[in-house]
Amino acid sequence: MALRAALIRHLRVPVQTLSPAGRVSQPSVANSLFGSIRFMSSHDDHLSKEDVADRVLSVVKSFPKVDPSKVTPDVHFQSDLGLDSLDNVEILMALEEEFKLEIPDKEADKIDSCKLAIEYIHNHPMAS
């Protein structure tokens, strides 16, 4: 109890003094502070394309059957990396886990290169 009282005494809270005219003497620092923070705004939440590309490439490179030196943003899974359709599905599963997405079957069948994967994930609103 004594500690608490000592702490409260020790803390200095800035107090805005009202001048006799009733105007607040402190400039509106609070307003400018809160003006730069947009609460509940998801506009800046979206991933940048380089960020998406880096993470997609690292997922593809860490796939055991892939040769990491061949992986570029334009690489095609089956023709360049020598994978088959089963590997394609596995890579897409790994990408789903990385970005916490659910890719529907119809879209997943179309994605067969790094480029398409990066584009799809970048355009997906739920990617994180």
Partner 1 sequence: MASTSVSKGQILSLYRSLLRTARQFSDYNIREYTKRRTVDGFRQNRGLTEPSLISAAFSEGKSQLQVAERQAVVYSLYAPDIRSVMETNLKGKR
Residue 126 CA to residue 79 CA, distance in Å, equals: 30
**Catalytic one of 84, 105, 109, 112:** 84
Coil, helix or strand at residue 89: helix
Q: Which of 26, 78, 85, 128 binds partner 1 (CB under 8 A)?
A: 85
Query: 80 or 87: whose CB is closer to partner 1?
Result: 87
Query: Rounded distance, CA 22 to CA 111, Å?
Result: 65
Catalytic, 84? Answer yes
Q: At what angle do helices 49-61 and 114-123 cross, to 10 degrees?
A: 130
Binding of partner 1 at residue 109 (CB under 8 A)?
yes
| Contact residues for partner 1, defined by CB under 8 A | 84-86, 89-90, 92-93, 97, 105, 108-109
Active site residues: 84
